[in-house]
Amino acid sequence: MTDSKHILRPFHLAFPVDNLDAARRFYGDIMGCSEGRSSDHWIDFNFYGHQIVTHLVEQKSSPVAASEVDTKAVPIPHFGVILSPDDWQALADKLRAAQVEFVIEPYTRFKGEVGEQSTMFLLDPAGNALEFKAFGDDAQIFAN
């Protein structure tokens, strides 16, 4: 619930990983998230101002389903951040340079329509799906 009386606050998301070293390399080294507190079982990361926590579990996560959006199979569940167009492009370039494999390559969907956005999907080393998107006009984020 947000309106003009609510200030946007950072979200917190905790999710499973099967290897903390791999999570540290992916979220820290590749994604550039600074590390916060940690233990032998979890690591906090600053994910674009939001708190994500990787929790060590015995099994890898994997998307349980896919949903067709703009003729692409979008992994469900997934999480991510809406970036500025420049930050989105810089991240796409950084991920390509790191040879990260995309589930859905960076592209612009809904071209010329309400909600036009640049988007990309990838998996972390534990199989958690992430989406990063950018709108040329943030007023389009919730437009219908």
3-state secondary structure of 53: strand
**Quick one: tokens of 125?**
């080393």
Q: What pLDDT does 58 receive?
A: 86
Q: What is the pLDDT of residues 29-64, one digit of tens each?
A: 999 999 999 999 999 999 999 999 999 998 766 667
Does 21 have pLDDT greater than 70? yes
Residue 108 and residue 124 in contact, taking contact as beta carbons nearer than 8 Å: no
pTM: 0.89
Contacts of 140 (CB under 8 A, 6+ apart): 114, 115, 116, 117
